[in-house]
């Protein structure tokens, strides 16, 4: 599929999306986000893809929503400009998603990264929610996903003040999972390869159960966990994983 503002490539069961509007630091406009949404649909439909990696250019992940087309919007148009549908679809992707972040991940760029399962940052990464300085606040999941990762006070500090944090602080906050020297993409792809090796049904069920429980009370989450966990005993990979352990050999998972 040919896109104008993103690149999509698939290699060895790993899909890679590159945000590709470098002249405006990958600022996200509607067309770009709708391309991202379309790519997420394609990946969901393709049962052979096991992991998705999203990166920007080597210089920047994304410096936020594109401010130019937003400036004169009325509320109804702002609602159409909102990126929630695409970012929710990204979060709902059954496979793991890793964001590889260099340079700026601001505003909608950070919200995009928040909808991923992991964030790997380069030393030079700067993460933040500067929307308050534009007279708005993060409106693509940021007020909801950020506090879940960093805690309410830190999220309020980032959102109320609109100040960026560096990669080391993001690591300390739990907003970033790993900081690397230079390009974070090789590290993200190495993690993707490890994840692609895991039994797909168990991994996807684990993601589903964790995300489901994150917004619900403990007992509701545990009930759902039990249903999905028992379902796994219908899979070939469960039989193979346990048999291989008992036979003291490496499991040969088939993703079935």
Contact 3, 17 (CB under 8 A): no
Is residue 236 annotated as part of the catalytic site, yes or no? no
Is residue 111 annotated as part of the catalytic site, yes or no? yes
Number of residues that bind ligand COA (CB under 6 A): 16
Each residue 53-72 as x (binds ligand COA by CB under 6 A) or -, in order, gives ----------xxxxxx----
Which residues, 214 to 253, sit near ligand COA by CB under 6 A? Answer: none
Taking the C-alpha atoms of residue 117 and residue 115, their distance in angstroms, rounded to an integer, is: 7
Nearer to ligand COA, 25 or 115 (CB): 25
* Candidate list 58, 80, 111, 223, residue with the active-site label: 111
Nearer to ligand COA, 108 or 184 (CB): 108
Contact 119, 176 (CB under 8 A): yes
* Candidate list 80, 91, 131, 247, residue with the active-site label: 131
- Among residues 88, 89, 155, 168, which one has the least CA distance to residue 122? 168
Q: Examine residue 130 and tell whether it contacts ligand COA (CB under 6 A).
A: yes
DSSP string over 175-197: S-SEEESS-SHHHHHHHHHHHHT
Q: In the chain, what is the straight-line distance between the N-terminal and C-terminal CA atoms, in Å?
A: 27
Residue 189, token pair as written in the block: 């792809």
Residue 64, token pair as written in the block: 């936020």
Nearer to ligand COA, 96 or 130 (CB): 130
Strands 126-128 and 165-166: antiparallel
Which residues, 8 to 37, sit near ligand COA by CB under 6 A? Answer: 24-25, 27
CB of 108 to ligand COA, least distance (A): 6
Each residue 76-105 as x (binds ligand COA by CB under 6 A) or -, in order, gives ----------------------------x-
Q: What is the DSSP letter of 77?
A: H
Taking the C-alpha atoms of residue 172 and residue 159, their distance in angstroms, rounded to an integer, is: 17
Q: Examine residue 107 and tell whether it contacts ligand COA (CB under 6 A).
A: yes
C-alpha torsion 18→23→28→31, nearest 10: -80
Which residues, 140 to 199, sit near ligand COA by CB under 6 A? Answer: none
Q: Map residue 175 onto helix, strand or coil.
A: coil
Nearer to ligand COA, 60 or 235 (CB): 60
Active site residues: 111, 131
Contact residues: ligand COA, CB under 6 A? 24-25, 27, 63-68, 104, 106-108, 130-131, 134
């Amino acid at each position: 599929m040919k896109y104008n503002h993103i690149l999509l490539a698939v290699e060895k069961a790993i899909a890679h999306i590159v945000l590709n509007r470098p002249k405006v630091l990958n600022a996200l406009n509607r067309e770009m986000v709708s391309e991202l949404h379309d790519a997420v649909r394609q990946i969901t439909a393709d049962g052979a893809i096991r992991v998705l990696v999203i990166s920007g250019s080597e210089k920047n992940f994304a410096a936020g929503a594109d401010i130019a087309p937003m400036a004169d919007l009325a509320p109804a148009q702002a609602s159409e400009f909102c990126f929630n549908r695409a970012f929710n679809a990204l979060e709902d992707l059954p496979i793991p998603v890793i964001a590889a972040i260099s340079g700026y991940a601001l505003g909608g760029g950070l919200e995009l990264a928040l909808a991923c399962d992991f964030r790997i940052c380069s030393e030079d990464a700067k993460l933040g929610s500067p929307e308050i300085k534009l007279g708005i606040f993060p409106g693509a999941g940021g007020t909801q996903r950020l506090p879940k990762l960093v805690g309410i006070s830190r999220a309020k500090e980032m959102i109320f003040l609109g100040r960026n944090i560096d990669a080391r602080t993001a690591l300390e906050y739990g907003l970033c999972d790993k900081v690397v020297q230079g390009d974070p993409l090789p590290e993200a792809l190495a993690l993707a390869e490890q994840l692609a090796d895991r039994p797909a049904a168990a991994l996807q069920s684990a993601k589903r159960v964790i995300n489901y429980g994150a917004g619900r009370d403990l007992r509701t989450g545990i009930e759902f966990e039990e249903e999905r966990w028992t379902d796994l005993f219908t899979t070939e990979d469960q039989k193979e994983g346990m048999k291989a352990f008992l036979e003291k050999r490496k499991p040969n998972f088939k993703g079935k």
